[in-house]
Amino acid sequence: MILLLLVFINIVFVPLLLVGVIRKIKALMQNRVGSPVLQAFYDIGKLLRKSETISGTASWVFTLAPRLNLAVVAVAALLVPWSGAAFPASWGSVTNFLLVIYLLGLGKFISMLAAMDTGSAFGGLGASRDALISVLVEPALMIGLGALALGAKSMDLSVIYSTPASHFVAILVGASLIVIALSELSRMPVDDPTTHLELNMVHEAMILENSGRNLALVKLAVALRTCIFFGLAAQTFLHALPQYSELSQLLRYGVGISSLFVVGVLVAVAEGVLVKLNWRRVPNFVAFAIALSSLAALIAVARG
């Protein structure tokens, strides 16, 4: 019963709240009052009540993509211990990090196809740039999580995030995960999520043609992915502290959620301070994640 309630809160309430908090902090940094913290909920509610307009060029791929993407991301959000609450290790390796990475890849595949489905230049632009970013992010994610897995002697995320990790490895992988999160979620300095200019459209370009109900599903999926990546980074940093693994399940969940919001606030502050990179410099930035992950791998391997 408690588990179901926790799952519901995790999947529905926390992601949209996080998005609202990030927006509020950015607004405060820009000396504005900004929209209320619960604005994301109102947006989703409004979008669900609106009808949608679909391009005549689009096919079943366009309609399937937001649904499949949200389904995949929701299942991944259940598997990844981003809030501190995790599946017990006896559930088989359903939380195997390869499965999670490739599930997210499935969501990405179908959303890139949907972007190209409408025959507009924006979709192709967004999909092609997203492809470039994922080429750099996937190895970093794989090597980073591999380094953590080596320390925990298991490829299951639920086991990795309940065994204490070495400080250096955890901090390096956490930093790498922050860079990965900023790139994957198209946040500054990789892309500006608030504008619709061709200079800096990655995610916004891909979802341009969605409207109404489809757009609500897309926004929910984005909010969930934000939680997954920021939460994973927060958990990795927390695992540098050996005391964290010794806390009780409920306390771990509480600390996990609060650290997720702390990471969100820090990212919002960073977004207010950072300048968006020239697109030609973006690969250099994202490749930092590969460097950090490889360093973490070297340390993890050397520790035996």
Q: Minimum Å distance from CB 258 to other proteins?
A: 28
Tell me: does residue 28 bind other proteins (CB under 8 A).
no
Q: Which two tokens stand for residue 269?
A: 């502050």
In this chain, which of 147, 179, 232, 234 binds other proteins, going by CB under 8 A? 147
Give the alpha-carbon dihedral of 138, 141, 145, 146, to 10 degrees: 50
Smallest Cα–Cα separation from 34: which of 24, 42, 43?
Answer: 24
Smallest Cα–Cα separation from 234: which of 295, 161, 139, 297?
Answer: 161
User: Residue 254 corresponds to which amino acid?
Assistant: G
Smallest Cα–Cα separation from 10: which of 63, 84, 69, 61?
Answer: 84
Measured in degrees and rounded to the nearest 5, phi and psi for residue 156 equal: -90, 130
In this chain, which of 32, 53, 195, 246 binds other proteins, going by CB under 8 A? 53
Span near other proteins by CB under 8 A; candidates 13-21, 70-78, 160-168, 239-247:
70-78
CA distance 157 to 283: 28
Q: Minimum Å distance from CB 251 to other proteins?
A: 29
| C-beta closer to other proteins: residue 177 or 290 | 290
State the distance between the two ends of the chain, measured CA to CA, in whole angstroms. 42
Beta bridge partners of 96: 156
Span near other proteins by CB under 8 A; candidates 30-38, 56-64, 157-165, 222-230:
56-64
CA distance 270 to 27: 12
What residues between 150 and 189 interact with other proteins by CB under 8 A? 150, 153, 155
What residues between 200 and 219 interact with other proteins by CB under 8 A? 208-209, 212-213, 217
| C-beta closer to other proteins: residue 94 or 247 | 94
In this chain, which of 31, 56, 243, 275 binds other proteins, going by CB under 8 A? 56
3-class SS of residue 85: coil
Tell me: does residue 7 bind other proteins (CB under 8 A).
no
In this chain, which of 13, 36, 59, 197 binds other proteins, going by CB under 8 A? 59
Burial of residue 302 (CB within 10 Å: 0-12, 13-18, 19+) is: exposed
**Contact (CB, 8 A) for 132 and 283:** yes
What residues between 89 and 128 interact with other proteins by CB under 8 A? 92-94, 96, 98-99, 101-103, 105-106, 108-109, 112-113, 115-125, 127-128
CA distance 88 to 92: 9
Residues that bind other proteins (rule: CB under 8 A) add up to a total of 78
| C-beta closer to other proteins: residue 85 or 148 | 148
3-class SS of residue 244: helix
What residues between 272 and 291 interact with other proteins by CB under 8 A? 283, 290
Span near other proteins by CB under 8 A; candidates 2-10, 37-45, 54-62, 178-186:
54-62
| C-beta closer to other proteins: residue 1 or 302 | 302
Tell me: does residue 298 bind other proteins (CB under 8 A).
yes
Q: Minimum Å distance from CB 87 to other proteins?
A: 11
What residues between 225 and 264 interact with other proteins by CB under 8 A? none
3-class SS of residue 156: strand
